[in-house]
Homo-oligomer: A and B are copies of this chain.
Amino acid sequence: MWLQKEFQLKSRSRGFHLITGEIVENLPELSNIDCGLLHLLLQHTSASLTINENADPTVRQDFESHFNQFVPENAPYYLHDYEGSDDMPAHIKSSYLGVSLHIPITRGRLNLGTWQGVYLGEHRNRGGARRVVATINGE
Contacts and interface: CB of A to CB of B under 8 A. Distances in A.
Interface of A: 2-4, 35-37, 39, 41-45, 50-53, 56, 58-59, 61-63, 65-66, 69-71, 75, 77-80, 88, 91-92, 94-104, 106, 111-116, 119, 131, 133, 135, 137-139
A111 B78 CA distance: 29
Given A45-B115, A98-B98, 11 more contacts: A41-B111, A45-B51, A50-B95, A52-B91, A62-B91, A66-B77, A66-B92, A70-B70, A70-B71, A99-B116, A100-B102
Oligomer: number of copies: 3
Q: Is chain A's interface secondary structure helix, strand, loop, or mixed overall? A: mixed
30 contacts: A2-B138, A2-B139, A36-B135, A41-B104, A41-B111, A41-B112, A42-B113, A44-B113, A45-B51, A45-B52, A45-B53, A52-B91, A53-B91, A56-B80, A59-B80, A61-B79, A62-B79, A62-B92, A63-B91, A63-B95, A65-B78, A66-B71, A66-B77, A66-B92, A69-B75, A70-B70, A95-B97, A96-B96, A100-B103, A113-B131
Contacts of A66: 71, 75, 77, 92
A56 to B, nearest CB: 6
Contacts of A51: 45, 95, 98-100
